[in-house]
Chains A and B, each alone.
Chain A
Amino acid sequence: AQTVTQSQPEMSVQEAETVTLSCTYDTSESDYYLFWYKQPPSRQMILVIRQEAYKQQNATENRFSVNFQKAAKSFSLKISDSQLGDAAMYFCAYRSARGGSNYKLTFGKGTLLTVNP
């Protein structure tokens, strides 16, 4: 079974600075997807960014980018120019690219990000 580990329960960053959230995963598969979801206090689960394992290029969405190291099974999220609205719980998630029940998301425990003004 796949596992996702987020080793940083909490992180803090100053407004306008850059922060990196860590995520590692364990899988025997070669074809899969990785995601970062954001959960603000409103409780919504918001997709931030996703990465396909077969793509070598790191995904980027505006101020959010990832560092995907397939061999190391590492998938970190970098937030540039941090804003107060970025404060939230961030979850790393894994999904197999195979069919059937493997379409479920396996989540890490989350990292609580605080943004200081």
Chain B
Amino acid sequence: DAGVIQSPRHEVTEMGQEVTLRCKPISGHNSLFWYRQTMMRGLELLIYFNNNVPIDDSGMPEDRFSAKMPNASFSTLKIQPSEPRDSAVYFCASSFFGNRDQPQHFGDGTRLSIL
């Protein structure tokens, strides 16, 4: 069974450019999470979707960040315009919360570097 698939694995772009990160959750999972990992702040939740609906976006740092989940098998995290301080590893995770004790399964992450 395929795990959470993220693309691209690496992204290097110049400040001011639009960046789009993509995630395909595990089939059958109904919850999706976007996390960001930095040396300074560690792992922190950006946004959480349940049944394609954003439930908690309080971790989204500012209006430059947006996330969508148009269907159960695809989500995007967009940064526009990007800034050097957005450089981080971005993880997508999915889970099924029909049973409350299901763990979150993570993708391999996207390493984003903004020059």
Contacts and interface: CB of A to CB of B under 8 A. Distances in A.
B112 to A, nearest CB: 12
A104 B44 CA distance: 9
Contacts of B76: none
Contacts of A42: 108
A93 to B, nearest CB: 8
Interface in A32-65: 33, 35, 37, 42-47, 50, 52
A107 B31 contact: no
Interface stretch (A15-23, A73-81, A95-103): A95-103
B91 A103 contact: no
Contacts of A45: 91, 93, 106, 109
Interface string B33-57: 1010000001111001010000110
A105 B101 contact: no
Contacts of A110: 42
Q: Is the interface of B mostly helix, strand, loop or mixed?
A: strand
A43 B106 CA distance: 10
A107 B111 CA distance: 19
B106 A52 contact: no
Interface in B78-104: 89, 91, 93, 95, 97, 100-101, 103-104
B105 interface: yes
Interface of B: 31, 33, 35, 42-45, 48, 50, 55-56, 58, 89, 91, 93, 95, 97, 100-101, 103-106, 108-109, 111
